[in-house]
Amino acid sequence: MLELKGIQKDYPVGEGVVHALKGIDLRFRTNEFVAILGPSGCGKTTMLNIIGGLDQYTAGDLMINGKSTKDFKDRDWDTYRNHSIGFVFQSYNLVPVLNVYENIVLPIELDGEKVDHSFVNSIIATLGLESKLTNLPNQLSGGQQQRVAIARALATKPAIILADEPTGNLDSKTSLDVLGLLKVTSEKFGQTIVMITHNEELAQMAQRIIRIEDGRIAGDRNV
């Protein structure tokens, strides 16, 4: 469904250039839970942003359902981001003046789509948020806020969930709880998860662990 072919990314910096990705070849399978591990600065976020259409690659190709994205226009990337991808970031990025339910359905409403309330309610139940729906984000713990952000990412029914250090602000027990829920929901709703972490223990929850070092794939194995 999603394939990176020789993906390279250069960032111009002053007079020079940073080669953040030096030729990444990867294929993701449907319903796979993949962890991306690697030291700080190795290119994890760059790769995730390219997969999610948030940033452009310098060379190579990103194939979506067998189709090249080389000739994608802004409009094509917008459609891809809005319909195929759900993002979960380390900072939960919830809207402080909207309650939990409003935050979860916001991307659907911004997209002008009808909310599938029974689907959204099943996500809410799976993530254990039923009793918090009218709370504002600042009335929730960090773990609860990240569960809301996960619900929001899942609610648009994306094929792929991209998570960049999603538990970076949570303690280790809460991290395991939140990732366990992410795993259960994605299995239930048939979604692929690509999750960046630098925590070996959390990576073990995935089915596949990809290691990146200095802009290259240094390991790729099924757990």
Q: Which is nearer to ligand ADP, 21 or 127 (CB)?
A: 21
Taking the alpha carbons at both ends of the chain, their separation in whole angstroms is 21
> Interaction with ligand ADP in 14-53: which residues (CB under 6 A)?
18, 20, 38, 40-46
Where does residue 77 rank: exposed (0-12), middle (13-18), buried (19+ CB within 10 A)? middle
Of 20, 34, 42, 45, the residue at the interface with Mg ion (CB under 5 A) is 45
Nearest Cα neighbor of 197 from 151, 153, 163, 154 is 163
Confirm or reject binding of residue 131 to ligand ADP (CB under 6 A). no
**Rounded to an integer, what distance in angstroms lies between the CA atom of residue 42 and that of residue 72?**
27
- Residue 52 near residue 162 (C-beta atoms within 8 A): yes
Compose the 81-120 pattern: x for residues touching ligand ADP by CB under 6 A, - for all others: ----------------------------------------
Which residue is nearest to Mg ion, using beta carbons? 45
Confirm or reject binding of residue 125 to ligand ADP (CB under 6 A). no
Q: Which is nearer to ligand ADP, 40 or 222 (CB)?
A: 40
Nearest Cα neighbor of 84 from 56, 52, 111 is 52
Neighbours of 118 (CB within 10 A): 7
Confirm or reject binding of residue 181 to ligand ADP (CB under 6 A). no
Confirm or reject binding of residue 197 to ligand ADP (CB under 6 A). no
Question: Position of tokens 């789509």?
Answer: 113
Residue 132 interacts with which of ligand ADP, Mg ion, none, CB < 5 to 8 Å by class: none
Kindly list the residues in this chain that would bind Mg ion in the complex (CB under 5 A): 44-45
Kindly list the residues in this chain that would bind ligand ADP in the complex (CB under 6 A): 11, 13, 18, 20, 38, 40-46
